[in-house]
Amino acid sequence: MSVNEFEIIARLTASLPSNPSVVVGAGDDCAVLDVGIPGSHLLFKTDAVVEGVHFLPDAPPEQVGHKALARCLSDIAAMGGTPGSAVVTLGLPPGRDSAWAEQVYTGMSRLAEKHSVAIVGGETTASPDRAFLSVALLGQVPQGRAALRSGAKVGDAIFVTGELGGSRAGRHLAFEPRLAEAQWLCSQFDIHAMIDLSDGLAGDLRHILQSSGVGAELLADAIPISRSARLAAKALHGTQSPLTAALTDGEDFELLFMVVASDAVPLLDRWRMAFPQLRLGCIGKITAGPGVHLRDQNGTRPLTNHGYVHFQ
C-alpha cells in the first residue's frame, strides 16, 4: 500500500535512537541540541531540492542555489534562531556542465553572505538522471527560547507574515527567509508556536495543531492572498479560487505563529514600525475543538483543503 510523505515520516521516526544532547528531536522545523554552549542551544537542519520536484530544468541556476539554502534558513527562522555554518551535497546528472554548478554556488553564496553563513564543505556526486542539492545547516538559539510547534494555546491569535499563494509563478525560487522578523518576534513577544509555510497554510497549520493538541478557526476574509495567486486563479478560469491557492499552493516560506490574544494589537502596532514593508495579519484563533474550520460570510465549516504532500 502506498503512503504519503507524513505517513512515511511517522514510520521512520517512531523509534529513532537518541542521546542526552537531544532537547527536541524529529518533528519540528529543526532539531534542538544541547552541546554545552553556555546560554545557547544548537539548531540542526537538513533539506533538499530536486530537479523536477522543487525546480524545473530551465530554472536559473543562481535561483536554484538561492532556494536550496533559503529553505534551511527559513527553518532556522521558524525556531527564532540565528544561522551559522552549512555543508552542501550536490548531485549532477550526466552531461550537466560545471558552469551550471558554479552558478548554483554563486546564488547560494550570495545568500549565505547576506546572513553571515559560512559554507564549510560538503560532497559532490554523480546522479543518474537529475540534479539535486542537499544542505545541512547549523544555527543557535538562546537556551530555552526556541519557538516550537507544540506551544499553541486555546484562545491564541493566529498570525501570518506576507502574502500567500502563487508560488508556481516563480516566487518559490526567489523568496527571502524571514530571519530578522522571526528574531524580532521572539525577542519582543512570547511566541507560543511558530512554523514556516513550506507546504501551504492548510497543511502546515495542522502540524502545529497536532503538536499542540488544539484546533483552529480561520477567517476567510483575513487570509492574505498574493497578486500571483489571483492572476493564476483567473488564468485557470475558476477551476481554483484565489483563496484555495493561498491555502494550498505551498512554498510561501512566510511565518505562521501564535501569541496570546491580548498581544495582538500591540504586536500589529509595533510590527508596522519595525517592518513597514512587510504585511502582517491576524487570520484566526486557536480553538479547543479538533481540526481546522473556516469562517466566511456563509458561516463556519470544516476546512477540507490540505497543502502539498509528497508521494500523494
270 and 228 within one domain: yes
Would you mind telling me the total number of residues written for the chain in this entry?
312
What is the pTM assigned to this prediction?
0.94
What order do you get walking across the sheet with 118-126 strand by strand? 22-24, 31-33, 40-50, 132-142, 82-92, 118-126
188 and 133 within one domain: no
| Range in 20-24, 205-209, 288-292 with the lowest mean pLDDT | 288-292
Other Cβ atoms closer than 10 A to 230: 18
Residue 256 clears pLDDT 80, i.e. is over it: yes
Residue 71 confidence (pLDDT) above 60: yes
Q: Within this chain, do residues 125 and 199 fall inside the same structural domain, yes or no? A: no
Number of domains within the chain: 2
Please tell me the predicted confidence (pLDDT) of residue 166: 87
185 in the same domain as 121? no
Inter-axis angle of helices 61-78 and 98-114, nearest 10: 30
Report pLDDT digits (tens) over 38-53. Answer: 999 999 999 999 999 9
CATH number at residue 135: 3.30.1330.10
**For residue 176, is it within any domain?**
yes
Does 152 fall in a domain?
A: no
What would the pLDDT profile of 135-181 be if each residue is shown by its tens digit?
999 999 999 999 999 999 999 999 999 999 988 788 899 999 999 99
Q: Which helix (H) or strand (E) holds 268?
A: helix 264-274
Q: Read off the pLDDT of each residue in 79-83 and give the average, rounded to a whole number.
A: 98
Q: Is 204's pLDDT higher than 80?
A: yes
Tell me the residue range of the domain where 73 lies: 5-142
The owner of cell 508556481 is: 168
Give percent above pLDDT 90 in the chain: 84
Same domain, 197 and 298: yes
pLDDT score for 236: 67
Residue 4, pLDDT > 70, answer no
In a domain, 84, yes or no: yes
Stretch among 9-18, 78-87, 211-220, 280-289 having the lowest mean pLDDT: 9-18
User: CATH no. for residue 213?
Assistant: 3.90.650.10
Residue 274 maps to a domain: yes
The predicted structure's pLDDT at residue 29? 96
- pLDDT at res. 215: 98
Task: Say if residue 311's pLDDT is above 50.
Answer: no
The verdict on 194 and 277 lying in the same domain is: yes
pLDDT digits (tens, 9 = 90+) for 90-121: 999 999 999 999 999 999 999 999 999 999 99
Same domain, 79 and 199: no
State residue 88 phi and psi, 5-degree precision.
Answer: -130, 135
Q: Are 161 and 287 within one domain?
A: yes
User: Does any domain span residue 207?
Assistant: yes
* Residue-wise DSSP of 6-58: HHHHHHHHTT----TTEEE-BTBSSEEE--S-TTEEEEEEEEEEEBTTTB-TT
116 and 40 share one domain: yes
pLDDT for residue 1 = 46
Judge whether residue 273 has pLDDT over 60: yes
Averaged over 201-208, what is the pLDDT? 97
Could you tell me if residue 147 is inside a domain? no
d(CA 265, CA 243): 25
